[in-house]
Amino acid sequence: MSDDQPESPSHVDRSRSFGSVAEAYDRGRPSYPAEAITWLMGGEAKVVLELAAGTGKLTRDLVDQGHAVFATEPDEAMLAILRERVPEVSAKVATAEEIPANDRSVDVVVVAQAFHWFDHEVALAEIARVLKPGGHLALVWNSRDERIPWVRKMGDLLGIQDRDTSSARLLGESELFAETEETTFKNWQEVNRESILDLARSRSNFAVMGEAERSENLSKVLAFYDEYGRGMDGMQIPYVTRCYRAVVVDPDEPATSGDEDPSQEGPVVSDGTDTDMLLIDFR
């Protein structure tokens, strides 16, 4: 999932548009800097739940950094690519508003390029429920660095959604989470004459266009590349990777053994007294 902010019928249409462009999304979207992922996770290996995981652009890197990752994504077409890209990860069709995981079962919940799509009041309560005491929520966006004039001109063609990470403020306003930490990292994406079209096709605003309008706008993107690119050497798009994290506030009454709903699926973590194994039911 990805892109913009206001809640309206068009917002709903765009939030559900990514399955139709799943392959272009996977080919065209940038990855995340390794140092940003390390900061988001807080260092050592964790049990991580990734919400709205899309095609696994972040998931693969989380696994490669040694984390035990569970992924959810509401779109079957996106999730199918994630399962091919990261076959060792347990992945399930689910939303952030109804997370298939037990209470206090994960160290980190992470959301890449998608937090703005959520019903925040419901989703933040769900996220707080599944986090272990001391666990945290991590949010990340790749935003084009439009301080550079030619990148700003590209943004006029692709859409301005990447500029807006304002939904992160809702994390700081929530009573369920402590003070939000934030930082940024530099990131670069190399594109060529083909992959810049995938980058455009993967945008929600392009996905909901009619065929004629989309073709016209893709032609404008290609003309832009021909003017500003380096031919066979491609083009390097600069990004600012914006990262946020906040620790969950512990509830007044700690959970006790036996309170878990046996019908609730998801990662279940031992208290460590009997085994170091994770007991997982996340099919």
pLDDT tens for residues 261-278?
Answer: 544 445 543 333 332 323
Residue 222: inside a domain: no
Structural domain harbouring 42 = 9-142+162-187+239-250
Convert the pLDDT of each residue in 138-178 to its tens digit: 999 999 999 999 999 998 998 866 567 888 999 989 999 99
Mean pLDDT of the chain: 83
CA distance 72 to 221: 32
Q: What is the CATH number of the domain that holds 134?
A: 3.40.50.150
Residue 245: inside a domain: yes
Residue 156: inside a domain: no
What is the count of structural domains for the chain?
1
What's the rounded mean pLDDT across residues 181-205?
A: 90
Query: Residues with Cβ < 8 Å from 17, sequence gap 6 or more?
Result: 204, 207, 208
Residue 267: inside a domain: no
Contact 69, 59 (CB under 8 A): yes
Q: Of 15-19, 72-76, 92-96, which gets the smallest average pLDDT?
A: 15-19
Closest CA to 145 of 162, 169, 127, 128: 162
pLDDT at 44: 87
Residue 218: inside a domain: no
* Amino acid identity for residue 213 in this structure: E
Residue 230: inside a domain: no
Residue 47: inside a domain: yes
Model confidence at 42, pLDDT cuts 50, 70, 90, reads very high
51 - beta bridge partners?
111
Residue 217: inside a domain: no
